[in-house]
A and B are shown apart, each in its own frame.
Chain A
């Protein structure tokens, strides 16, 4: 069994306090690479995604989020053979990562889940030939998967507080219509909840549940689809 370099997060700047330990009690290491640093730990193998380990990693990332002004948490299970392998993945994406760090600096994520009756999906266009209609339908489907008209009045009220927003419709049957991930300045978490409270009557009979503040998981770059 060969050891792995486990990635917890990418950060920049200096930590405001000790990094502490990782999910297996291993000391965390800061590996600088250009203007970015990786927070890593040495593990015997890639960890299993059981509940206890997930909760441990969540605790590690939330502690790191308090130590750095900007953090991009890694998805669970990001492991590398060694420092060279990590660097070879980081280097080509350095600009993208630096931009993402700039976006999340000083910010936290609020997660807003929407429950109730979904709006019907938009009607298909009937204009154009079969090819045009097919492409238009695909685009509409993609846009619909990232929209939540059910809470537009609420989003309008929250808009002055938002630095960024990411929306996902749930798609499957059940009470959950979708989730809006909101990136807001750290100091605005209280204001965010107050606005939600005052605007709750504007979305008909639908219900919302907000959780947070979280590290900005939903605003970390993913591979291109």
Chain B
């Protein structure tokens, strides 16, 4: 079964990428930033963003 490739160019609306880039990546100079942002709420936000985005970005066409 071949699925169409999804190409999202300059996806300004992608919360997933914003969260991944800013909370999970980037230059870290102080340990405090990691500790200060590693709260449960944030991890939850990140995971739900990932899971939601997976469904939103790639609708399961085969099941419809």
Contacts and interface: CB of A to CB of B under 8 A. Distances in A.
Contacts of B8: 209-211
B21 A176 contact: no
Contacts of A79: 33
Chain A interface main SS type: mixed
Interface string B1-38: 11101111111001101111111111111110110110
Contacts of B9: 193, 211-212
Interface stretch (A13-21, A123-131, A138-146, A216-224): A216-224
A220 B37 contact: no
Contacts of B63: none
28 contacts: A9-B27, A49-B37, A49-B45, A57-B22, A75-B24, A76-B23, A76-B33, A78-B29, A79-B33, A80-B30, A113-B57, A172-B47, A193-B9, A201-B2, A205-B3, A207-B6, A208-B5, A209-B57, A211-B8, A211-B17, A212-B9, A214-B21, A217-B25, A218-B25, A220-B25, A223-B28, A223-B31, A223-B34
B5 A170 contact: no
A58 interface: yes
A54 interface: yes
Contacts of A75: 22-28, 33-34, 37
Contacts of A93: 29
Interface string B31-64: 1011011000010010100110011011000000
B22 A76 contact: yes
A72 B25 CA distance: 10
Contacts, number: 136
Given A207-B5, A208-B5, A223-B31, A77 B14 contact: no
Contacts of A175: 54-55, 58
Nearest to A92: B29
A196 B7 CA distance: 9
B44 to A, nearest CB: 12
A8 B10 CA distance: 21
A135 B21 CA distance: 32
Nearest to B22: A76
A107 interface: no
The 10 closest A-B pairs by CB, nearest first: A75-B26, A220-B27, A217-B25, A76-B22, A217-B21, A200-B5, A89-B29, A209-B6, A175-B54, A77-B33
